[in-house]
Amino acid sequence: MSEKQNTLEFSITTSREYWEEKTYEEIKKATYVNPLYDPGFKAFLGEEQALKSFLNGALHLSKEHQIKSVTIKNIEINIVFPTTKTFRLDIRATTADGRCVDVEMQKAKPAHFIERVLLQHSAFLLQSKYEQDKDFLDNFPENPTDAERKERDDRFYKIPPTIAIWVCDFHVENQVGYRGSWTVKNERGLPVTDKIEYIMYDLTQFSIPKDKIRTDEERWLYLLKTAGTSDNLPDFDDRVIANAIKRLLVKTASEKLLREQAKNMVMTEEELDYLASLKVRAHDEGLAEGEANERAKNAARDKKIAEYLRSLGVSEDSVAKALSIK
């Protein structure tokens, strides 16, 4: 497998149309659509057989307990706070045995990342509970027996098993190794419930070479990490993986997928806001320290900005352009 330098340019301006077109042209020169961005990620794993294979690997399920089928569901969830807050998940599905799964690809580390994970999972849990209850109540008889009434009462606080899987292209704090399984525990380390689980993948710590890969989990992670810079991905003699790789091929990808990928790779308003926040905070800190420390503060500011942009996969040329903006 040959590797090539990722030289995609990214927007540091508000002229999104120009940078989207430029990024689109660069994508067309690549072999594969990069699955570390949402459109490519959904094309790669948002198909029933691929998702089933990925989940069986991620959950470390033995052959007799493997997921037999999954149903991919609507990704939009609306939760009513004082105003309605909309969560858009990457891939949401339920398994044949009733597990509810949310699979997220996170390219850049946002502020308050863990809080975001918890908040999004709370919305996901509420939606899953609503759908579970609705399916039950839609088929509830008009004249229930005592046993049926008891079952309805028993279900009032019952929640479905929910699993959140986050694939992160940045270092996950407080995690040793590329895979972490997290849950809510008491002071003795016992889980509060076995129905809520978080699996965190830190791709920056995944370094298993192709010839050492043995499990489905390792295969999918290897492909996710390397597809964006590869000319020739291995299918590991697996038909499901081979089909998933085909969906990433730029030469046969739909125009819609390529355009969505380009749009996603240009810096969003949220990312530009974060970049501006770094610059303003660093500038304010520099003024507070006085003129004598201004140069050192500016250097520290530039280092933070550069590290953030590189975490997004921004090329060195674009990093330099960003740092030149005053």
Write down the domain spans for the chain: 16-266, 267-326
Q: Alpha-carbon distance 223 to 306, whole Å?
A: 26
Residue 3's pLDDT band, with cuts at 50, 70 and 90, is very low
- Burial call 299-314: b when 16+ CB within 10 Å, e when fewer: eebbeebbebbeebbb
Query: Can you give the pLDDT at residue 71?
Result: 94
Least confident segment among 63-72, 159-168, 172-181, 311-320: 311-320
* pLDDT tens sequence across 21-60: 989 999 999 999 999 999 999 999 999 999 999 999 999 9
Residue 1's pLDDT band, with cuts at 50, 70 and 90, is very low
Choice between 3 and 61, residue whose per-residue pLDDT is larger: 61
- Nearest CA to 177 out of 194, 200, 144 is that of 200
* pLDDT tens sequence across 312-322: 666 666 666 66
Contacts of 58 (CB under 8 A, 6+ apart): 165, 199, 217, 220
The answer on pLDDT for 129 being more than 70 is: yes
CB 34 within 8 A of CB 224: no
Q: Alpha-carbon distance 22 to 18, whole Å?
A: 6
The answer on pLDDT for 250 being more than 60 is: yes
The answer on pLDDT for 261 being more than 70 is: yes
Unique residue bearing structure tokens 């740092």: 323
* pLDDT tens sequence across 209-246: 999 999 999 999 999 999 999 999 999 999 999 999 99
The answer on pLDDT for 292 being more than 60 is: no
CA distances to 8, 91, 204, 223 from 208, in Å: 26, 26, 11, 11
